[in-house]
Structure 1
Amino acid sequence: MPANAEGKQGGGKFRPGRSGNPAGKAKGTRHKVTLAIEALLEGEAGALTRKAIELGLAGDMTALRLCMDRLAPARRDRPVTFDLPRIETVADLPKATQAILEAVAAGELTPSEAAELGRLVDAHAKAIEVTDLHRRLEVLEGGRA
């Protein structure tokens, strides 16, 4: 049996849950293409950057976009500061959703930020419901014992 056949099933495939390389890729290992590109660009990064800036300043929109993407990348997320009422029971949920709606109407939150906050409020509501159901179940089971 060849040395690399351990863990394989018929047809040369590994059994489900068994890796051909259990130790995995060594830390710091980089792809050959990445290494080749870095070798080509070595020592040229400054000149290439300067050229992209010059082209952008001359009106080349692609070069300008490239420069701007590096200088001011698109924001993925931002901290949101706004007063959300405390949610301790299911009865508090309408106050929270009302506060989110009012913040959107006032321009304090974007609709996408409000949607994300809505998902957080929904998750919190589910946690409250599950906790309440668990408490009720314990009371019922405790009454039978």
Structure 2
Amino acid sequence: MANSYTDESGKFAPGNPGKPRGARHAATKAVADLLQGEAEGLTRKAIDMALEGDTVALRLCLERVAPRRKDTPVQFDLPPMECAQDAAQAAQAILQAVSDGGLTPVEASTVMSLIEQYRRTLELTEFETRIQALEMGR
């Protein structure tokens, strides 16, 4: 029996047979329907409760006004990276910054992944330069 997901033989039709783009879960739709037209009143009530000293309501309001940052800029000394081999010196600088307390291990891990990506870019550039030099030498 064919439906919108299968052909006449019962095999899945080409493409993604999952939910259509933009489809929402039934519970999400039910909550949205219940809240229809109530957003302004609920927001006003949360603000009033926060102003009266309700710490949960206050936190809720503040999280909407000034959400917590997912990350923050970090500053530390990093040697220039002009070739792929310079990545080792950069990694040493990051480890030293963690050791000195200038970076957290999570921050260092994030920066190290950036350095690794940059190292790969430098390595590829060096490789392409060598190939060009070899081809011109022919």
| TM superposition score category, shorter chain reference | 0.5 to 0.7
Which runs of 5 or more structure 1 residues have no equivalent in the other structure?
A: 57-61
Counterpart CA distance in 2 for 1:8 and 1:44 is 44
1:19 — aligned with what? 15
Counterpart CA distance in 2 for 1:47 and 1:3 is 44
1:120 — aligned with what? 114
Counting only pairs closer than 5 Å after superposition, residues 36-51 of structure 1 correspond to structure 2 as 36-42=30-36
Counting only pairs closer than 5 Å after superposition, residues 100-139 of structure 1 correspond to structure 2 as 100-139=94-133
TM-score (norm: length of structure 1) = 0.61
Counterpart CA distance in 2 for 1:50 and 1:125 is 52
Counterpart CA distance in 2 for 1:108 and 1:34 is 44
Number of matched residues? Answer: 135
Equivalent pairs: percent with the same residue?
A: 42
Counterpart CA distance in 2 for 1:50 and 1:84 is 49
- Give 2:7's aligned amino acid: K
Deviations 1:87-108 (A, max 9, x none): 0113422331222122212222
Q: Please, what is the CA RMSD of the aligned residues?
A: 3.9
The SS at the match of 1:90 is coil
Which runs of 5 or more structure 2 residues have no equivalent in the other structure?
A: 51-55
Deviates more, 1:85-94 or 1:44-53: 44-53
Offset, 1:64: 9.1
Which of 77, 91, 100 in structure 2 is aligned with 1:97?
91
Offset, 1:114: 0.4
Counterpart CA distance in 1 for 2:3 and 2:85 is 65
1:59 — aligned with what? none
Q: Summarize the Cα distance change of 1:3–1:64 in structure 2 as closer, same or farther, 3 Å threshold.
A: closer
- Give 2:12's aligned amino acid: F
